[in-house]
Amino acid sequence: MKQKIFLFLILVLFILVSFSETTATTLFNFKKYADEHIVSQVGQGYFNKNLEYLGDKPYPEDVLDSNIRAVRYAHKITVDDYSQDVGVTVWFNLKNGIWEIGNRYGTKAEGLPNCIADNTKCMPFQITMGRAIEIAKNGGAFDDADKYTAKIHFFYGKVNAYIWDITTYRSAMNGKTAIIDLNTGDLLVPVADWQISFAKPEYKDAVSLTGGYITPVPEGPITPEGSITIDFMVTSDNGVCLGDYIVSSDGKKCVKVVPPTPIIEPGVVPTETSSGTGSRIPPVDGICPERYVLSSDGTRCMKPYVPTVSIPPQEAGHEVVFTPDSVVVKDVRTGEETIIAPSEGLRTVISVSTEESVTDLSVTKNVTVEWEPAFQRTIIQVGSTVASTKESLEVKEDRMYVKDQEIKIMPDVASQIAIEKLGDVGFEIEIKDVGRRDAPQPVYEVVARTEVKILGLFRVSMKTMTQIDTQTGEASEIKKPWWSFLVR
């Protein structure tokens, strides 16, 4: 009897541990129900022929125990000799049990028409790319532009269907757009001008109406050092910036942009420049690591070309504040501030040389600080060690500060301290303020996840965490789950 009670208690304990570390996502067949959701809109035969499952994962990926699941598909659309994979995302909300398709949760995901209700909204389509370009030309889209891109997109609102998007370029930052019905050839809205304050990433794919792709940008890594002219910031001409400059959010300044180049990782062979990608790695179960995108054929993960604002060395007299929403560049001589507007297609990078004194030995290190607006965070990198933060990070006189507290310990040293505390198990490092409003205290929060066995029988994932003072390097006690004493 005692033996049965003991076994029962062990079983209950295992269930409690499992549900404290995992969610119902491990027990649910998301693909099956997402398939059924799409079939309800396009029909089983169309689904089997034209949609390909790419994988599913939590959203956002960097949020533990996310309540949203994103199931991704490729909709293989062909019109005459043109073919394109249009991404389709099916969302499942674990809190309310609702399935949805399209641009939910602040994303720009493509939608999917209800082809059962109106079969003209799915293939076959009648208007070829060549015909769409002619329609756009007749509508005035090419009046003062030669280069263009032609893509099929989902158009929301009353149209709620796939359309031809013919975008023309006067430059990488302005031009015109024609939206054309794929079956009737109608211009769904009048040809409209567009203008943005950064180099549009799609510009690299533009072709000339009179023939050929534009000259691809040269391959090579982004190197902030030496890539900036002395005219890092100039006064705009009534809010207009020319060439490789973007306009600041107040319209008064033009900020130099390094031409889009691929981010090449050491030891990785780059793909063709005309493909618009840098380094590549194979996907795992159709899923790519963070900051990579899946190729249209689903065989490789690629880093895109990204236009970059590379801020000059600190001796140029600038202070820089990185926040989750923007980057503020301050001229210390005049006190003038320039805000670089957020954009998913724009990186902002600054390189500094900072001295670090852990013992009596002072060491100068090269540190790269990079703003990632798509993830609303700032990355600090020393060598191969990376830390992130969503706190406001200020860089001035080759020093970094969080809420006026200097970051004296660099991420690489914090990583070594974490290895001594947690072991070399792989972990994520994030700078967080754990102090009070009147007494900020930035620390490195180091989180590791390892697979362990409860009583040597049940395999689970265990989270361990420690905090490292950014000024002294002192580490706190290791925090583990309450059930860690059962690990064998």
* Range picked from 260-264, 340-344, 356-360, 472-476 for highest mean pLDDT: 472-476
What does the alpha-carbon distance between residue 383 and residue 368 come to, in Å, rounded to a whole number? 9
pLDDT of residue 202: 78
β-strand pairing of 327-331 with 318-322: antiparallel
What does the alpha-carbon distance between residue 286 and residue 53 come to, in Å, rounded to a whole number? 9
Tokens standing for 340?
């670089």
What does the alpha-carbon distance between residue 398 and residue 52 come to, in Å, rounded to a whole number? 50
Nearest to 206, CA basis, from 246, 254, 271, 260: 260
Give the total residue count for the chain: 488
pLDDT of residue 130: 92
pLDDT of residue 364: 66
Ranges of each domain in the chain: 28-121, 129-195, 218-262+305-397, 263-304, 403-488
- Residue 224: pLDDT band with limits 50, 70, 90: very low
- Has residue 41 got a pLDDT over 80? yes
Average pLDDT over residues 360-387: 76
Q: Distances in Å between the alpha carbon of 179 and those of 68, 112, 154, 467?
A: 32, 17, 11, 53
- Has residue 124 got a pLDDT over 80? yes
The secondary structure of 365-425 as a DSSP string is: EEEEEEEEGGGTEEEEEETTEEEEESS-EEEETTEEEETTEE--S-HHHHHHHHHHHH-SS
Residue 427 phi, psi dihedral angles, 5° rounding? -155, 170
- Has residue 214 got a pLDDT over 80? no
- Residue 281: pLDDT band with limits 50, 70, 90: low
- Residue 207: pLDDT band with limits 50, 70, 90: confident
- Residue 239: pLDDT band with limits 50, 70, 90: low
pLDDT of residue 267: 34
Average pLDDT over residues 114-132: 93
**pLDDT tens, 154-172?**
988 788 899 999 999 888 7
Average pLDDT over residues 265-291: 48
pLDDT of residue 22: 44
Average pLDDT over residues 103-115: 80
Q: Which residues contact 100 (CB under 8 A, 6 or more apart)?
A: 90, 91, 93
pLDDT of residue 449: 82
* Residue 59 neighbours by CB distance under 10 Å: 18
pLDDT above 90 coverage of the chain, percent: 25
Nearest to 304, CA basis, from 349, 245, 257, 262: 262
What does the alpha-carbon distance between residue 192 and residue 139 come to, in Å, rounded to a whole number? 10
- Residue 266: pLDDT band with limits 50, 70, 90: very low
Average pLDDT over residues 21-27: 46
The answer to whether 228 touches 291, Cβ cutoff 8 Å, is: no
What does the alpha-carbon distance between residue 345 and residue 291 come to, in Å, rounded to a whole number? 12
Please give the class, per CATH, of domain 403-488: alpha beta
pLDDT of residue 226: 28
pLDDT of residue 346: 64
Chain mean pLDDT for the chain: 76
pLDDT of residue 21: 43
The answer to whether 254 touches 241, Cβ cutoff 8 Å, is: yes
**pLDDT tens, 430-454?**
999 998 888 999 999 998 888 888 8
The answer to whether 78 touches 126, Cβ cutoff 8 Å, is: no
pLDDT of residue 24: 45
- The 3-class secondary structure across 56-77, one letter per residue, is EEEECCCCCCCCEEEEEEEEEE
pLDDT of residue 460: 82
pLDDT of residue 30: 87
- Residue 198: pLDDT band with limits 50, 70, 90: low
Helix (H) or strand (E) run with residue 15 in it? helix 2-21
The answer to whether 403 touches 390, Cβ cutoff 8 Å, is: no
Q: Which parts of 60-160 are beta strand (E)? A: 68-79, 82-93, 98-101, 147-155
The secondary structure of 234-279 as a DSSP string is: EE-BTTB--SSEEE-TTSSEEEE-EEEE--PPTT-----GGGTEEE
- The region that residue 113 occupies, defined by phi over 0 for left and psi between -120 and 50 for alpha, beta otherwise, is beta
pTM of the model: 0.49
What does the alpha-carbon distance between residue 452 and residue 486 come to, in Å, rounded to a whole number? 10
Give the rounded distance of the alpha carbon of 330 from its chain centre: 27
- Has residue 228 got a pLDDT over 70? no
**pLDDT tens, 310-345?**
776 554 567 888 887 778 888 777 778 888 765 545
What does the alpha-carbon distance between residue 3 and residue 177 come to, in Å, rounded to a whole number? 74
Sign of CA dihedral 97, 462, 20, 105: negative
The answer to whether 111 touches 154, Cβ cutoff 8 Å, is: yes
pLDDT of residue 295: 64
Average pLDDT over residues 123-149: 92
What does the alpha-carbon distance between residue 293 and residue 276 come to, in Å, rounded to a whole number? 11
Eight-state DSSP code of residue 342: P
- Residue 303: pLDDT band with limits 50, 70, 90: low
**Per DSSP, what are the bridge partners of residue 187?**
180
- Residue 243: pLDDT band with limits 50, 70, 90: low
